[in-house]
């Protein structure tokens, strides 16, 4: 085999490997998508149709709306708490700082269901008044705050304080130097936290499952789950699942296009 042929074989093998990887990652999405547009006719034949999407518009959109509202509020609350908290944790030394960092990292090793149960216990049995929509927001904000905190802390650790010092020496007060210099420079790191908080809270299932009982509110992922249990894998359920995946996919693709993976590296999940 000459050098040219060998190069060709290697390149083909690399492409094949990438295609297999992509297929494995995209397969569940593709299968769901195909199922959602394959409508069975009375005669037994299967035809391509978007009718299932039409069918779910009325019933599924309010759930999507609810999930989006909860996620966006969660992101807003976690961002406003996470940025100043991360700044304080990174910049200021205090007794027990290392222990606190270990604790924050340790959150990821707690099984999701245990964590969700703890949140439910806290927000249902302890604060009964915190039920309904705001119960979700409170539970999600609390649950995903660590994620926002960690990404912001990574961003602040990469941020050289000399820029802030330079801004101060040039006449900017604390707040102005933070808004004009620090925030634009840590922006990509913060958006990594926003992205992860949004996607994970939008798709959060375990906490929602436990909260849905007392609150009787059903988020979009929960609706998909209950429809699967009730109707099986019908085309309308597949359509619901496809819409849910598409929203997350679009957000992630937009983030990767505009920011890239740089600020996701420091996060333990990735």
Partner 1 sequence: MTHVKAQNITKRYETVAAVNRVNLEAEDGKFVTLLGPSGCGKSTTLKIIAGLIYPDEGEIYFGDRNVTELPPDKRNIGFVFQRIALFPHMNVEKNIAFGLKMRCRTKEEIARKIKEVLYVVHMEGFEKRMPSQLSGGQAQRIEIARVLATDPDILLFDEPLSNIDAKLRDELKYEIRRIQRETGKTMIYVTHDQAEAFAISDKIYVMNNGSVEQIGTPVELYVNPITPFVASFIGSNNFLKGRILTLDASTNVARVTSDDIEIVAPYTNGLHMNDQVLVCIRPEDISVIEEGEKSKYRNVIQGRIDDSVFAGLLTRLNVAVKGIVFKIDVHGSDRFSYLNVKGKEILLGFNKCSLIAGATEIPA
**Site residues for partner 1 per CB under 8 A:** 160, 162-163, 165-174, 176-177, 180-181, 184-185
User: Considering only CA atoms, which of 241, 236, 234 is closest in space to residue 55?
Assistant: 236
The residue (of 169 and 230) whose beta carbon lies closer to partner 1 is: 169
- Judged on CB neighbours under 10 Å (0-12, 13-18, 19+), 96 is exposed
User: Tokens standing for 21?
Assistant: 């990887």
CB of 96 to partner 1, least distance (A): 17
The residue (of 99 and 169) whose beta carbon lies closer to partner 1 is: 169
CB of 160 to partner 1, least distance (A): 8
CB of 92 to partner 1, least distance (A): 14
CB of 187 to partner 1, least distance (A): 9
Q: Which region holds residue 160: left if phi is over 0, alpha if psi is between -120 and 50, else beta?
A: beta
| Residue bearing tokens 């806290």 | 122
The residue (of 101 and 163) whose beta carbon lies closer to partner 1 is: 163
d(CA 124, CA 4): 67
Largest CA distance in the chain: 79
């Amino acid at each position: 085999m000459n050098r040219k042929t060998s190069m060709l074989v290697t390149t083909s093998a690399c492409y094949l490997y990438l295609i297999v990887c992509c297929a494995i990652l995209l397969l569940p999405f593709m299968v769901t998508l195909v199922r959602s547009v394959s409508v069975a006719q009375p005669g037994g034949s299967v035809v391509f149709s978007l009718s299932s999407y039409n069918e779910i518009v009325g019933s599924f959109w309010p759930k999507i709306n609810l999930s989006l509202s909860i996620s966006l509020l969660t992101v807003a609350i976690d961002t406003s708490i996470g940025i100043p908290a991360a700044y304080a944790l990174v910049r200021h030394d205090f007794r027990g700082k290392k222990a606190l960092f270990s604790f924050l990292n340790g959150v990821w090793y707690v099984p999701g269901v245990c964590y969700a149960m703890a949140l439910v216990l806290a927000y249902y049995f302890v604060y009964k008044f915190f039920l309904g929509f705001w119960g979700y927001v409170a539970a999600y904000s609390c649950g995903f705050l660590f994620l926002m905190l960690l990404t912001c802390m990574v961003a602040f650790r990469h941020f050289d304080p000399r820029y802030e010092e330079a801004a101060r020496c040039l006449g900017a007060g604390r707040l102005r130097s933070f808004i004009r210099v620090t925030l634009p420079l840590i922006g990509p790191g913060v958006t990594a936290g926003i992205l992860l908080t949004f996607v994970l809270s939008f798709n959060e299932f375990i906490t929602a499952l436990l909260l849905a009982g007392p609150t009787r509110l059903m988020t979009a992922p929960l609706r998909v789950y209950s429809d699967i249990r009730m109707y099986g894998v019908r085309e309308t359920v597949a359509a619901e699942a496809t819409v849910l995946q598409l929203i997350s996919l679009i957000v992630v693709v937009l983030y990767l296009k505009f920011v890239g993976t740089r600020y996701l590296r420091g996060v333990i999940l990735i």
